[in-house]
Amino acid sequence: MGENLTPDLKPSIEFNLHLNIYKRMKDVSAVIHAHPVFASSFSAMKGTINTSLTAEARAICGEPKFVPYAVMGSEELADIVAKNAEEADIMILENHGIITTGKSLLQVFDKLEVLENAAKMTLITRIAGNRKMLSSLRISEIDRLFR
């Protein structure tokens, strides 16, 4: 694990972040680290993306975990993220970006896409001043069935 299979390509500075997740989480086969504009904005606001506005967002994203800041590319960040990956499959990295983990690349991409849409919906409903979240009963039911 961790062998560069494309030696002509230089690994990302976040290589250890990915590797530490794989080492710690044996059931994880895919990791995406990205910086989508809307979801990443919440990392800079230390805000909460409301994943309880739609059933799809709740089922796919659950409650994303906010991870404290550490310098990008650092061993500290790789360690913090790997520890938090035990508690959440979607992480918002303070003043940085997003991490999603799962069993396949398609699954983790889906999580990233739905999180970005949930971030947009959170901002739109805040601006409009009108939102109707799922009830606690519906949230519990979705969590039980999908999370």
Total of domains in the chain: 1
Burial label, 27 (beta-carbon count in 10 A; 0-12, 13-18, 19+): exposed
CA distances from 9 to 61, 78, 105 (A): 32, 21, 20
Residue with tokens 């035990």, as numbered in its chain: 86
Residue 43 inside a domain? The answer is yes
Told to judge if 14 belongs to the known catalytic residues of this protein, a careful annotator would answer yes
Q: What is the mean pLDDT of residues 122-126?
A: 96
| 7 pLDDT above the threshold of 90 | no
Q: What's the pLDDT score for residue 105?
A: 97
Whole-number Å distance between alpha carbons of 93 and 107: 20
Q: What is the mean pLDDT of residues 58-69?
A: 97
Which domain CATH number covers 95?
Answer: 3.40.225.10
pTM: 0.92
Residue 5 inside a domain? The answer is no
Residue 4 inside a domain? The answer is no
Q: Which pLDDT band, with edges at 50, 70 and 90, does 9 fall under? A: confident
Residue in 3, 14, 86, 87 annotated catalytic:
14
- The DSSP call for residue 133 is P
| 6 pLDDT above the threshold of 90 | no
Identify the domain containing residue 94 by its residue range. 15-146
Q: What is the mean pLDDT of residues 124-144?
A: 95
Residue 114 inside a domain? The answer is yes
Residue 10 inside a domain? The answer is no
